[in-house]
Amino acid sequence: MRYWLRRLWMQLRNEVLVLPSRTLVLVWAIALLLLPWVYADPYVLRIVTLTCLFAIFAASWDLLAGYSGQVNFGHALFFGAGAYASALLSLKLGLSPWLTVWAGTAVATLFGLGAGYLCLRLRGSYLSLATLAFPLIATGLLFAFPGFSGGELGFSGLPRLANSLLGNYYIAVIAMLALVFGLWLIADSKFGLVLHAIRDDELAARASGINTPRYKLAAFALSAFAAGLAGALLAHYMRVTGPFTLETALSFQVVIWGIFGGVATIYGPVAAVFVLYPLTEWFGGFQAFGERRLLFFAVIVLLVLLYMPRGLAPWVRDKIETLCPRCKQRNGAWRTHCRLCSAPLIATDRPRASEPDKG
Amino acid sequence: MLRTLIASCAFALASTSALGQTTVKIAVLGPMAFVQGENHWMGAEMARDDINKAGGITVGGRKLMVELVRADSNEMTSVPDAASAVERVITRDKADFLIGGFRSEAVLAMQEVAMDHKKLFLGVGAAHDELGIRVEKDYNRYKYWFRVSPTKSTDLGRTVFGVLGAVAGDIRTQFKTETPKVAVLAEKAIWTEGLIAAAQKNLPAMKMEMVGLWQPSAVATDVTAELSAIERAGADIVFTFLSGPVGIVTGRQMGERNMKAVAFGINVEAQKDEFWGAAAGKANFVSTLDTYAEVEITPKTVPWVRAFKERFKKSPTYNAATYDAVMILKEAIEKANSIKSDDLVPVIEKLSYLGNAAVVEFDKRHDPVWGPGKSLGIGVQWQDGKKVAFWPPQVKGMQPFRLPAR
């Protein structure tokens, strides 16, 4: 036991606490886990729960759009597929939501594979426009078969995964932490590197022997998996689902979160949701702002993009970390020499920490 | 001993806080950036001022003032936002009761949060039957929901066919036609589908001939093709189911073409004061279902509608029935001598409240009881720039329905 604790501490000290960005993430995760014990306000817990679910959705979009370059304008399709499939199975077959959430996620993954297959030959704006059509088609189908789909009203009275406020909160937080960390690991792995290569030059990637269609399909499926899980969790948390889970506005919302936070980072869109979702909700609490919340939202997004063109998260990271010019490892901004290779870090043209590795 | 002391202290504290309450907090939830939310708020404001001017609500020999909490539900854009707004007013603003809601899909989610907290929620705006069905299916959870206005969708359909029967009767008498011809002009939207199916089923039974179905977009800017076809089909009535701006276009173009057919049905744009101007003064004879007019639906209708117009310089829409919702709460609180939702539910279930446009009584689904003398609705027609009420004819102040000259 003592050995494992010691090992955990070493890992923490050498891998996490050495970098301010990782320390920040650790503090944020601990804060989320401790929040109900420090401030058990039901309204705050509700907003954080919803924020966590949308954060999964935003991170899933980033894997597809940011890493593989397949900019999806209809990402709500997967969110809605997860929500609807789980709701249908739970209401029509009376299955436990703990089962149907996974079944909904599986259906969303299949939708991801289907959408990915149909878009294999498309690139750039053509792919974006094609994906934009998918949730519209799905909505049309829902309205065409109201007896099966619940029509414009959708489904209500869904069972919750947990009956307590705390239970639902922890389900959302743990699901978000696990999925976001999982997606980040995937994006940081060899698989993520291949996706980067495909995004930057698909022809070159194919010439290097990479089976690009397979990787693109996998990116679609993984992204749909996470988005579908977020949709299914939201449906059971709110006890309702309906065409709002497929709305075009939701598809664009996730694009805004992605770009605001910083694409191809995973943590960027998550940070964006954690800033923008509670902020717009907070505006809603003020009579003077509430009815103009979309205007304020737009102004904040525009200002951030004007002054932080690569997004919020990379901007913050640039301020607190430095990239070593020799070994390309990141260091805390206060360091004068690299923590790994001891190369001097103070230079007139200090490289930015979030610049892609060139070495 | 210590436990008893702590319990006594807690009880004393709770009692003091209940006694210390000087207001009844009512949250008004609606899409405040839209006309629906605006009417929610205006109706509630009038009720608050009327109650407070009269000294407030009497509970346990004390007078409590009404305090409103304005909450933008943002429900037109986001269903999760609407549910969060309910959570906010209950847990942050400490609202005692909730009123409002408009978009059925969002109100279902809002209902869930209110029921989680066992808070009385008087719905004003959403018409879908499902909201009431839930009360019947799971009474213990959903009993805190009551729909004040409008009547549920099914009853709305019953009213529209009732008025259509009266319009057809006028046509039969005036033009000696046994079987009036009806053209159904319904915007392409889900909400119209049930009504179209009902029209296809009911019209032959009502001795009317359905000459066709035309479905323009809700935002169509031209319906010339549809109206030409309707004219060629020799229709006497254009039975409209329109909620979008196409309602204005239809009124204007029917006037421009001097159509012999008269338009009746649901035309949301025609319920607004601005309709005549928006249709360039050409929408004569266009008629629609509505809720308020200066006619004696109840003894309260005329003075209330006049007071509303004087204060806000516009006519009320059905969402302004938040006035009645606040008044129902006042009556129930005074009868129950309590502001606890659980105490008020059985009182409201038995209440017969004389409202501004209806005598509101609730059925087992907590929906307003439909029918003459209860909650019904009215038919209004645009006649030479004025919106006049014509149905139900037994109501004092109703004007005759007019048909275009042939």
Tens digit of each residue's pLDDT (9 = 90 or more) over B59-97: 988 999 999 999 999 888 889 999 999 999 999 999 999
Structure tokens at A235: 């449906």
User: Which pairs from A203-211 meet CB under 8 Å and 24+ separation?
Assistant: none
Whether A293 and B84 lie within 8 Å, measured CB to CB: no
Residues of B in contact with A50 (CB under 8 A): 80, 84
| Phi-psi domain of B118 (left: phi exceeds 0; alpha: psi -120 through 50; beta: other) | left
Whether B81 and A287 lie within 8 Å, measured CB to CB: no
Confidence of residue A290 (pLDDT cuts 50, 70, 90): low
pLDDT at A111: 97
pLDDT at B297 over 70: yes
**Rounded to a whole number, what is the distance in Å from the CA of B313 to chain A's nearest CA?**
22
Bridge partners of B238, per DSSP, are B183, B263
| Phi-psi domain of B373 (left: phi exceeds 0; alpha: psi -120 through 50; beta: other) | left
pLDDT at A46: 96
Residues of B in contact with A249 (CB under 8 A): 77-78
Mean pLDDT, chain B, whole residue set: 92
Structure tokens at B191: 């909400």
**Is residue A347 a part of any domain in this protein?**
no
H or E element in which residue B353 lies = strand B353-354
- Asked, colleague to colleague, whether B2-150+297-360 and B154-290+377-391 share their fold, the answer is yes
Asked if residues B233 and B181 have their Cβ atoms less than 8 Å apart, the reply is yes
Q: Name the pairing type of β-strands B57-59 and B181-186.
A: unpaired
If we measure between CA atoms, which residue out of A234, A200, A196, A313 comes closest to residue A56?
A234
Domain that holds residue A285: 17-332
Q: How far, in Å, CA of B106 to CA of B74, rounded?
A: 9
**B104 in contact with A, Cβ within 8 Å:** yes
How far apart, in Å, are the Cα atoms of A101 and each of A83, A86, A105, A177? 8, 5, 6, 17
Cβ neighbors of B326 (< 8 A, separation 6 or more) are B26, B43, B44, B47, B48, B51, B66, B99
How far apart, in Å, are the Cα atoms of A232 and each of A83, A100, A251, A267, B394? 4, 8, 16, 22, 53
Find, in chain A, the residue whose alpha carbon is nearest to that of B131: A156
Find, in chain A, the residue whose alpha carbon is nearest to that of B192: A152
pLDDT at A358: 39
pLDDT at B20: 62
pLDDT at B77: 84
pLDDT at B296: 94
Mean pLDDT (whole number) for B329-354:
96
Name the more confident of B275 and A339.
B275
H or E element in which residue B185 lies = strand B181-186
Whether B190 and A143 lie within 8 Å, measured CB to CB: yes
**Rounded to a whole number, what is the distance in Å from the CA of A244 to chain B's nearest CA?**
7
How far apart, in Å, are the Cα atoms of B98 and each of B24, B72, B296? 11, 13, 29
Cβ neighbors of A168 (< 8 A, separation 6 or more) are A49, A160, A161, A162, A237
**B213 in contact with A, Cβ within 8 Å:** no
The 10s digit of each residue's pLDDT in A127-163 is: 999 999 999 999 999 988 888 898 888 999 999 999 9
Would you give the DSSP letter of residue B121? E
Mean pLDDT, chain A, whole residue set: 91
Q: Does domain B154-290+377-391 fall into CATH 3.40.50.10860?
A: no
pLDDT at A353: 55
Bridge partners of A323, per DSSP, are A330
Residues of A in contact with B190 (CB under 8 A): 143, 146, 151-152
Structure tokens at A103: 């079944």
Q: How far, in Å, CA of A334 to CA of A343, rounded?
A: 14
Q: Pick from A43, A239, A294: which is nearest to B87 by CB?
A: A43
- We report the CATH number of the domain holding residue A167 as 1.10.3470
pLDDT at B262: 96
**Is residue A23 a part of any domain in this protein?**
yes
- Total beta-carbon pairs less than 8 A apart between chain A and chain B: 81
**Rounded to a whole number, what is the distance in Å from the CA of B267 to chain A's nearest CA?**
20
Asked if residues B354 and B300 have their Cβ atoms less than 8 Å apart, the reply is yes
Whether A41 and B190 lie within 8 Å, measured CB to CB: no
**ipTM score of the complex?**
0.87
Asked if residues B263 and B240 have their Cβ atoms less than 8 Å apart, the reply is yes
Write the secondary structure of A18-86 as one string of H (helix), E (strand) and C (coil): CCHHHHHHHHHHHHHHHHHHHCCCHHHHHHHHHHHHHHHHHHHHHHHHHHCCCCCCCCHHHHHHHHHHH
pLDDT at B9 over 90: no
Q: Name the pairing type of β-strands B62-72 and B57-59.
A: antiparallel
Whether A157 and B83 lie within 8 Å, measured CB to CB: no
DSSP characters over B221-233: S--HHHHHHHHHT
Q: Where are the alpha helices (DSSP H) in B71-223?
A: 79-87, 104-116, 130-137, 139-142, 153-175, 190-205
The 10s digit of each residue's pLDDT in A84-131 is: 999 999 999 999 999 999 999 999 999 999 999 999 888 889 999 999
Asked if residues A323 and A347 have their Cβ atoms less than 8 Å apart, the reply is no
pLDDT at A291: 61
If we measure between CA atoms, which residue out of A330, A275, A273, A248 comes closest to residue A59?
A273
pLDDT at B1: 44
pLDDT at A301: 85
In chain A, the percentage of residues whose pLDDT exceeds 90 is 73
**Is residue A35 a part of any domain in this protein?**
yes
In chain A, the percentage of residues whose pLDDT exceeds 70 is 95
Q: Which of B90, B118, B129, B190 to substitute to test the interface with A, most A CBs within 10 Å?
A: B190
How far apart, in Å, are the Cα atoms of A2 and each of A9, A10, A15, A310? 10, 12, 20, 44
Cβ neighbors of A184 (< 8 A, separation 6 or more) are A59, A266, A267
**Is residue A354 a part of any domain in this protein?**
no
Least confident of B7-16, B22-31, B191-200: B7-16
pLDDT at A289: 66
Whether A287 and B79 lie within 8 Å, measured CB to CB: no
Asked if residues B380 and B402 have their Cβ atoms less than 8 Å apart, the reply is no
Give me the count of residues in chain B.
406
Cβ neighbors of A174 (< 8 A, separation 6 or more) are none
One of 3.60.15.10, 3.30.565.10, 3.40.50.2300, 3.30.530.20 is the CATH number of B2-150+297-360, namely 3.40.50.2300
pLDDT at B403: 94
Peptide bond into A97 cis (omega under 30): no
Q: Pick from A43, A50, A239: which is nearest to B92 by CB?
A: A43
Asked if residues B392 and B180 have their Cβ atoms less than 8 Å apart, the reply is no
**Rounded to a whole number, what is the distance in Å from the CA of A24 to chain B's nearest CA?**
28
Residue B401 φ/ψ, nearest 5 degrees: -75, 140
The 10s digit of each residue's pLDDT in B97-136 is: 999 999 888 999 999 999 999 999 999 999 889 999 999 9
Q: How big is chain B by its Cα radius of gyration, in Å?
A: 23
The 10s digit of each residue's pLDDT in B12-31 is: 444 434 446 789 999 999 99
Residues of A in contact with B70 (CB under 8 A): 287
Structure tokens at A333: 């901004």
pLDDT at A352: 55
Q: Pick from B92, B105, B134: which is nearest to A244 by CB?
A: B105
CA B114 to chain centre: 20
Confidence of residue B388 (pLDDT cuts 50, 70, 90): very high
Give residues 359 to 388 of B whose Cβ lies within 8 Å of A.
Answer: none
Helix %, strand %, coil % of chain A (to 5) = 70, 5, 25
Whether A293 and B72 lie within 8 Å, measured CB to CB: yes
- Domain assignments of chain B as residue spans, ordered by start: 2-150+297-360, 154-290+377-391
Find, in chain A, the residue whose alpha carbon is nearest to that of B81: A281
pLDDT at B219 over 50: yes
Q: How big is chain A by its Cα radius of gyration, in Å?
A: 21
3-state secondary structure of B26: strand
Q: Pick from B81, B109, B190: which is nearest to A152 by CB?
A: B190
The 10s digit of each residue's pLDDT in A245-278 is: 999 999 999 999 999 999 999 999 999 999 999 9
Give residues 68 to 97 of B whose Cβ lies within 8 Å of A.
Answer: 70-72, 74, 77-81, 83-85, 87-88, 91-92
**CA atoms within a 13 Å half-sphere pointing along the CA-CB vector of B219:** 0
Whether A287 and B84 lie within 8 Å, measured CB to CB: no
Q: Provide the whole-model pTM.
A: 0.88
Least confident of A89-93, A183-187, A307-311, A355-359: A355-359
Total domains in chain A come to 1
**CA atoms within a 13 Å half-sphere pointing along the CA-CB vector of A144:** 6
pLDDT at B203 over 90: yes
Q: Name the pairing type of β-strands A321-323 and A330-332.
A: antiparallel
Find, in chain B, the residue whose alpha carbon is nearest to that of A50: B80
Asked if residues A92 and A103 have their Cβ atoms less than 8 Å apart, the reply is no
**Is residue A340 a part of any domain in this protein?**
no
pLDDT at B289: 94
> Interior CA angle at B357 toward B351 and B363, to 5°?
35
pLDDT at B340 over 80: yes
Q: How far, in Å, CA of A100 to CA of A229, rounded?
A: 10
**B67 in contact with A, Cβ within 8 Å:** no
Q: Which of B69, B91, B103, B154 to substitute to test the interface with A, most A CBs within 10 Å?
A: B91
Mean pLDDT (whole number) for A42-48:
95
Whether B112 and A244 lie within 8 Å, measured CB to CB: no
Mean pLDDT (whole number) for B294-312:
96
If we measure between CA atoms, which residue out of B361, B4, B190 comes closest to residue A154?
B190
Bridge partners of B242, per DSSP, are B267
Mean pLDDT (whole number) for A8-21:
90
Q: Pick from B72, B79, B85: which is nearest to A242 by CB?
A: B79
CA A307 to chain centre: 23
Mean pLDDT (whole number) for B266-293:
94
pLDDT at B11: 44
Residue type present at position A280: T
